[in-house]
Amino acid sequence: DREIPSDTIKTARYSNNYKDTIHTEFNRKQIKQIHIGVNQIKSQSTEESENFEVIKENNTELENFKLIDICFSKHFFMQNLDSKARKEIIREMSLVKVPSNSYVFKEGTTGNYYYILQKGQTQLIINNNIVKEFKIGQSFGELALLHNSPRSGSVFALTDCFFWILSRSKFRQIVDHITEANYEENKQFLDSLRIVSNLEDFQKAILSNALYKEKFHINDFIVKRGERADCIYIIKEGEVACINENK
């Protein structure tokens, strides 16, 4: 039980979507922002210099489900969610429009939304240089939300563009959920291993927080002889072969 700064509020919220309790800490200055509903996204976006018009506030009908789900399956942390959790997230997303020849957001401004391009043409601009053009189904904006940092580049709409977006507050709830789900999964996995059976509960808890999942495909090398060892691998699923190159 660590000491909580005086300008921080610690909350515990029960989520019907995820069927568990999510513990979150918010700075008092962020409380007003956290309580902004989806129906107020437009007014918030003006304040944060993110330019869009809300077309559909909640994706309750799971519109463009396949497009969004494929995007999630390729995402570095969304891919760890099960299909049920991804459906609940997709239901919380909003469809917005950004007019042609305008910025979705500008470099250096505060990031508050995660975007998936549903329709249109957009460019990523960094330091006044065009870096890439986003394709339909590609996403951007999550790094600014994860690290609470300014946008590292600008996104410009070449045509009228439509995006599925996720707000900062929803995004953070998802991160909390993933962290909690991974911790519980890791804890159950460690409890099944004889090699760590003699560890104390607090030691297993430390390991559960440190473990992360890495996937390998058939014929992939996990490690190679002569490489510097900086971690330990524990096989959770599948089979591996140990190869002695001298034989």
73-110 confidence digits (pLDDT tens):
888 767 767 777 788 889 989 999 999 999 999 999 98
Per-residue buried b or exposed e for 202-236, using 16+ beta carbons within 10 Å of the residue's own CB: eebeebbeebeeeeeeeeeeeeeeeeeeeeeeeee
pLDDT at 47: 40
pLDDT tops 50 at residue 224: yes
Cα separation, 68 vs 42, in Å, equals 22
pLDDT tops 50 at residue 41: no
pLDDT at 49: 55
pLDDT at 89: 87
Q: Specify the higher pLDDT residue, 22 or 222.
A: 222
pLDDT tops 70 at residue 155: yes
Q: What would the 3-class secondary structure string for the chain be?
A: CCCCCCCEEEEEEEECCCCEEEEEEEEHHHHHHHCCCHHHHHHHHHHCCCCCEEEECCCCCCCCHHHHHHHHHCCCCHHHCCHHHHHHHHHCCEEEEECCCEEEECCCCECCEEEEEEECCEEEEECCEEEEEECCCCEECHHHHHHCCECCCEEEECCCEEEEEEEHHHHHHHHHHHHHHHHHHHHHHHHCCHHHCCCCHHHHHHHHHHCCCCCCCCCCCCCCCCCCCCCCCCCCCCCCCCCCCCC
pLDDT tops 70 at residue 22: no
User: Amino acid letter at 100?
Assistant: S
Q: Are 150 and 110 in contact (CB under 8 A)?
A: yes
Alpha-carbon 121 to chain mean position: 23
* Average pLDDT score, the chain: 78
What predicted TM-score, i.e. pTM, was given to this entire model? 0.58
Mean pLDDT calculated for residue range 136-143: 90
pLDDT tops 90 at residue 165: yes
pLDDT tops 90 at residue 37: no
The string of pLDDT tens digits covering residues 225-240 is: 888 888 888 888 889 8
pLDDT tops 50 at residue 32: no
